[in-house]
Amino acid sequence: MDFTIYLKFFLGLLAIINPVGLLPVFVGLTSSQNDAERNQTSNVANLAVVIILLVTLVAGEMILQLFSISIPAFRIAGGVLIAIIALSMLQGKLGEVKSNQEENREFAARESVAVVPLALPLMAGPGAISSVIVYSAQYPGWLDKLGMGLAVIAFGIVSWTLFRSAPILFKMLGKTGINVITRIMGLIMLAISIEILAAGVKGLFPGLAGG
Protein backbone atom coordinates (compact mmCIF):
# COMPACT_ATOMS: atom_id res chain seq x y z
CA MET A 1 0.00 0.00 0.00
CA ASP A 2 1.41 3.35 -1.09
CA PHE A 3 0.16 5.87 1.47
CA THR A 4 1.26 8.82 -0.68
CA ILE A 5 -1.51 7.85 -3.13
CA TYR A 6 -4.15 8.16 -0.42
CA LEU A 7 -2.65 11.42 0.84
CA LYS A 8 -2.78 12.87 -2.69
CA PHE A 9 -6.35 11.60 -3.04
CA PHE A 10 -7.33 13.21 0.28
CA LEU A 11 -5.65 16.53 -0.58
CA GLY A 12 -7.28 16.41 -4.01
CA LEU A 13 -10.73 16.12 -2.42
CA LEU A 14 -9.93 19.06 -0.12
CA ALA A 15 -8.86 21.17 -3.11
CA ILE A 16 -11.77 20.22 -5.38
CA ILE A 17 -14.58 20.41 -2.83
CA ASN A 18 -13.00 23.25 -0.81
CA PRO A 19 -15.13 23.05 2.39
CA VAL A 20 -13.53 26.28 3.68
CA GLY A 21 -14.77 28.15 0.59
CA LEU A 22 -18.22 26.56 1.04
CA LEU A 23 -18.62 27.91 4.59
CA PRO A 24 -20.21 31.20 3.43
CA VAL A 25 -22.52 29.19 1.14
CA PHE A 26 -23.47 26.99 4.10
CA VAL A 27 -24.20 30.13 6.12
CA GLY A 28 -26.40 31.50 3.34
CA LEU A 29 -28.28 28.25 2.79
CA THR A 30 -28.99 27.77 6.51
CA SER A 31 -29.80 31.39 7.33
CA SER A 32 -33.38 30.54 8.38
CA GLN A 33 -32.34 27.68 10.68
CA ASN A 34 -31.55 27.72 14.39
CA ASP A 35 -28.32 26.26 15.81
CA ALA A 36 -29.76 22.77 16.34
CA GLU A 37 -31.20 22.63 12.81
CA ARG A 38 -27.93 23.97 11.39
CA ASN A 39 -25.94 21.28 13.18
CA GLN A 40 -28.35 18.67 11.84
CA THR A 41 -27.92 20.07 8.33
CA SER A 42 -24.13 19.85 8.73
CA ASN A 43 -24.37 16.26 9.98
CA VAL A 44 -26.67 15.14 7.16
CA ALA A 45 -24.73 16.99 4.43
CA ASN A 46 -21.34 15.59 5.39
CA LEU A 47 -22.71 12.07 5.92
CA ALA A 48 -24.37 12.27 2.49
CA VAL A 49 -21.11 13.41 0.89
CA VAL A 50 -19.19 10.52 2.43
CA ILE A 51 -21.84 8.00 1.30
CA ILE A 52 -21.98 9.46 -2.24
CA LEU A 53 -18.19 9.41 -2.62
CA LEU A 54 -17.88 5.89 -1.18
CA VAL A 55 -20.55 4.58 -3.56
CA THR A 56 -18.79 6.40 -6.41
CA LEU A 57 -15.47 4.85 -5.37
CA VAL A 58 -16.89 1.34 -5.54
CA ALA A 59 -19.40 1.58 -8.38
CA GLY A 60 -19.41 5.13 -9.80
CA GLU A 61 -18.10 4.30 -13.27
CA MET A 62 -20.43 1.30 -13.53
CA ILE A 63 -23.48 3.39 -12.50
CA LEU A 64 -22.75 6.09 -15.08
CA GLN A 65 -22.21 3.46 -17.77
CA LEU A 66 -25.38 1.61 -16.73
CA PHE A 67 -27.48 4.70 -17.41
CA SER A 68 -25.27 5.82 -20.33
CA ILE A 69 -24.46 9.07 -18.50
CA SER A 70 -21.27 10.90 -19.37
CA ILE A 71 -19.38 13.21 -17.02
CA PRO A 72 -20.21 16.23 -19.27
CA ALA A 73 -23.94 15.40 -19.06
CA PHE A 74 -23.57 15.07 -15.29
CA ARG A 75 -21.91 18.50 -15.22
CA ILE A 76 -24.80 20.07 -17.12
CA ALA A 77 -27.38 18.52 -14.77
CA GLY A 78 -25.42 19.74 -11.75
CA GLY A 79 -25.05 23.21 -13.23
CA VAL A 80 -28.79 23.53 -13.85
CA LEU A 81 -29.56 22.40 -10.30
CA ILE A 82 -27.11 24.89 -8.77
CA ALA A 83 -28.56 27.68 -10.96
CA ILE A 84 -32.10 27.00 -9.68
CA ILE A 85 -30.94 27.13 -6.03
CA ALA A 86 -28.83 30.25 -6.72
CA LEU A 87 -31.85 32.10 -8.13
CA SER A 88 -33.83 31.18 -5.00
CA MET A 89 -31.03 32.61 -2.84
CA LEU A 90 -30.89 35.82 -4.86
CA GLN A 91 -34.64 36.29 -4.41
CA GLY A 92 -34.47 35.47 -0.69
CA LYS A 93 -36.86 32.53 -1.01
CA LEU A 94 -34.66 30.15 0.98
CA GLY A 95 -35.01 32.41 4.00
CA GLU A 96 -38.80 32.73 3.95
CA VAL A 97 -40.35 32.01 7.36
CA LYS A 98 -43.77 30.40 7.72
CA SER A 99 -46.00 31.65 10.53
CA ASN A 100 -47.48 28.25 11.29
CA GLN A 101 -44.96 25.99 13.09
CA GLU A 102 -46.30 22.77 11.61
CA GLU A 103 -46.23 24.25 8.12
CA ASN A 104 -42.71 25.42 8.81
CA ARG A 105 -41.58 21.90 9.76
CA GLU A 106 -43.17 20.47 6.61
CA PHE A 107 -41.60 23.25 4.53
CA ALA A 108 -38.19 22.55 6.08
CA ALA A 109 -38.57 18.84 5.33
CA ARG A 110 -39.41 19.61 1.70
CA GLU A 111 -36.82 22.32 1.26
CA SER A 112 -33.96 20.74 3.24
CA VAL A 113 -30.69 21.99 1.80
CA ALA A 114 -28.50 19.34 3.43
CA VAL A 115 -28.60 16.85 0.57
CA VAL A 116 -29.60 19.19 -2.28
CA PRO A 117 -27.78 21.40 -3.10
CA LEU A 118 -25.19 21.25 -0.31
CA ALA A 119 -24.08 17.59 -0.50
CA LEU A 120 -25.02 17.17 -4.16
CA PRO A 121 -23.92 18.87 -6.35
CA LEU A 122 -22.00 21.57 -4.42
CA MET A 123 -19.75 19.19 -2.46
CA ALA A 124 -20.01 15.82 -4.19
CA GLY A 125 -20.24 17.49 -7.58
CA PRO A 126 -18.99 16.50 -11.03
CA GLY A 127 -15.41 17.46 -10.19
CA ALA A 128 -15.23 15.37 -7.02
CA ILE A 129 -17.11 12.44 -8.55
CA SER A 130 -14.99 12.37 -11.71
CA SER A 131 -11.82 12.58 -9.59
CA VAL A 132 -12.94 9.62 -7.47
CA ILE A 133 -13.85 7.62 -10.59
CA VAL A 134 -10.44 8.34 -12.15
CA TYR A 135 -8.57 7.27 -8.99
CA SER A 136 -10.77 4.18 -8.66
CA ALA A 137 -10.02 3.16 -12.25
CA GLN A 138 -6.31 3.88 -11.82
CA TYR A 139 -6.00 1.87 -8.58
CA PRO A 140 -8.60 -0.92 -8.86
CA GLY A 141 -7.25 -3.15 -6.06
CA TRP A 142 -9.42 -3.63 -2.97
CA LEU A 143 -6.61 -2.55 -0.66
CA ASP A 144 -6.33 0.68 -2.64
CA LYS A 145 -10.09 1.15 -2.50
CA LEU A 146 -9.99 0.61 1.27
CA GLY A 147 -7.25 3.23 1.63
CA MET A 148 -9.16 5.73 -0.51
CA GLY A 149 -12.36 4.94 1.40
CA LEU A 150 -10.59 5.85 4.64
CA ALA A 151 -9.40 9.07 2.95
CA VAL A 152 -13.04 9.89 2.08
CA ILE A 153 -14.09 9.33 5.70
CA ALA A 154 -11.19 11.53 6.89
CA PHE A 155 -12.34 14.24 4.50
CA GLY A 156 -15.89 13.98 5.89
CA ILE A 157 -14.58 14.48 9.44
CA VAL A 158 -12.53 17.54 8.42
CA SER A 159 -15.47 19.05 6.51
CA TRP A 160 -17.88 18.36 9.40
CA THR A 161 -15.47 20.06 11.84
CA LEU A 162 -15.27 23.14 9.62
CA PHE A 163 -19.05 23.37 9.19
CA ARG A 164 -19.52 23.18 12.97
CA SER A 165 -17.63 26.48 13.19
CA ALA A 166 -20.37 28.19 11.16
CA PRO A 167 -22.13 29.61 14.30
CA ILE A 168 -19.07 31.80 14.85
CA LEU A 169 -19.70 33.33 11.41
CA PHE A 170 -23.37 33.83 12.28
CA LYS A 171 -22.45 35.72 15.47
CA MET A 172 -19.93 37.88 13.62
CA LEU A 173 -22.21 38.75 10.69
CA GLY A 174 -25.60 39.19 12.39
CA LYS A 175 -28.97 38.99 10.62
CA THR A 176 -28.27 41.80 8.15
CA GLY A 177 -24.85 40.41 7.31
CA ILE A 178 -26.34 36.95 6.72
CA ASN A 179 -28.93 38.39 4.32
CA VAL A 180 -26.18 40.16 2.39
CA ILE A 181 -24.01 37.02 2.34
CA THR A 182 -26.98 34.96 1.11
CA ARG A 183 -27.46 37.26 -1.90
CA ILE A 184 -23.73 37.42 -2.65
CA MET A 185 -23.37 33.65 -2.41
CA GLY A 186 -26.43 33.26 -4.64
CA LEU A 187 -24.69 35.37 -7.29
CA ILE A 188 -21.44 33.41 -6.91
CA MET A 189 -23.31 30.10 -7.09
CA LEU A 190 -25.03 31.29 -10.27
CA ALA A 191 -21.61 32.07 -11.77
CA ILE A 192 -20.35 28.63 -10.66
CA SER A 193 -23.36 26.98 -12.31
CA ILE A 194 -22.60 28.76 -15.60
CA GLU A 195 -18.97 27.56 -15.44
CA ILE A 196 -20.12 23.98 -14.80
CA LEU A 197 -22.68 24.21 -17.61
CA ALA A 198 -20.05 25.60 -20.00
CA ALA A 199 -17.62 22.78 -19.12
CA GLY A 200 -20.38 20.23 -19.66
CA VAL A 201 -21.39 21.68 -23.03
CA LYS A 202 -17.74 21.76 -24.17
CA GLY A 203 -17.38 18.13 -23.08
CA LEU A 204 -20.45 17.07 -25.07
CA PHE A 205 -19.53 19.20 -28.07
CA PRO A 206 -15.69 19.38 -28.22
CA GLY A 207 -15.83 21.43 -31.42
CA LEU A 208 -17.16 24.39 -29.47
CA ALA A 209 -13.96 24.61 -27.42
CA GLY A 210 -11.93 25.34 -30.54
CA GLY A 211 -14.51 27.74 -31.92
Q: Is residue 208 part of a domain?
A: no
Q: Is residue 207 part of a domain?
A: no
Q: Is residue 21 part of a domain?
A: yes
Residue 135: CB atoms within 10 A of its CB come to 22
**Residue 35 is part of which domain span?**
3-202
Q: How many domains does the chain have?
A: 1
Rounded to whole angstroms, what are the CA distances from 107 to 78, 85, 103, 113, 166?
A: 23, 15, 6, 11, 23
Q: Select the more confidently predicted residue: 159 or 105.
A: 159
Name the pTM for this structure: 0.71
Q: Select the more confidently predicted residue: 209 or 51.
A: 51
Q: Is residue 71 part of a domain?
A: yes
Q: Is residue 211 part of a domain?
A: no
Mean pLDDT, residues 116-126 taken together: 86
Q: Is residue 101 part of a domain?
A: yes
- Position 1 confidence tier, pLDDT thresholds 50, 70, 90: low
Q: Is residue 210 part of a domain?
A: no
Q: Is residue 65 part of a domain?
A: yes
Q: Does the pLDDT at position 71 exceed 50? A: yes
